[in-house]
Amino acid sequence: MQSALQPNERATLETLTGIRHWAPGLYSFTTTRPPDYRFIAGQYARLGLHNAVGNVVWRAYSIVSATSATHLEYYVIDVPGGAFTSTLQRLVPGDTILLDRQTHGAMTPDRFADGEDLWMLSTGTGLGPFIAILREPMVWQRFRQLLVVHSTRTAKEFSYQDELLEAERQYANAPARLRILRTSTRDDVEPAHASHLRGRITTLLTNGELERHAGLSLQAENSRVMLCGNPAMTDEMRELLKQRGLRPCRRDMPGQYVAENYW
């Protein structure tokens, strides 16, 4: 039975309202949203739960919801033996969770002062903030091309596919065009015979496959890049982008990419 959580000056107490399972150990869940809770698409929240010995453990999760939604949504993978997800995976609708009143993170589209093509490169649940960004009508007016690249271990872990396809139809007349590129790293399927690519994002960028399938080049003049997920991917991508003349966004200097590590 879940231990009783208490709201305080730092956090509100929210109720779990729904769970959707995408693959074993991979799911999204929704909670209630405080009326005064504000965030920018791409930011993350800090959630709190009791661990096995009764201490509150906090973890950061990107908010997947649109900023206009009446609920909050998160996209999660279970961590074997994890102090937080070991409790989270046992929750059912009606259970409660603490929500830090303050939002966090600066991986948001408004970090870019210019640019025409927005590349959103993700591994695993790093897709979450990009779903939130695509749920904002503003981004469809801001850019010419929106490219979502999602890398997972297997094709079974590709999530939000129906919503991304629906977004293509919903915004068919918007200035921006959406391109969806998926790649798996462990499926024993040759790319020529699959509906998705095979290999790590960094490998596909290096060998030219990513840009060839996108039908677009990634370059400093027009491309703006968001990186979210495995630190190995984000670190390697930083070096590859540097080689192409792209700079990180700084407070005092416009740049061409922003990044968020997921652990």
Residue 247's pLDDT band, with cuts at 50, 70 and 90, is very high
CATH of the domain spanning 11-100, picked from 2.40.30.10, 3.30.1370.100, 2.40.37.10, 3.40.1080.10: 2.40.30.10
CATH 3.40.50.80 given to domain 109-261:
yes
Where do the CATH 2.40.30.10 domains begin and end in the chain? Answer: 11-100
Where do the CATH 3.40.50.80 domains begin and end in the chain? Answer: 109-261
Beta 71-77 vs 56-62: how paired, if at all?
A: unpaired
55-104 residue pLDDT tens:
999 999 999 999 999 999 999 999 998 999 999 999 999 999 999 999 99
Q: What pTM was estimated for this model as a whole? A: 0.93
Token pair belonging to 21? 């399972």
Token pair belonging to 62? 């990107």
158-199 residue pLDDT tens:
999 999 999 999 999 999 999 999 999 987 655 444 568 999
Classify residue 71 by burial, with Cβ atoms within 10 Å: 0-12, 13-18, 19+: middle
From the list 68, 50, 51, 47, the residue with the least C-alpha distance to 59 is 47
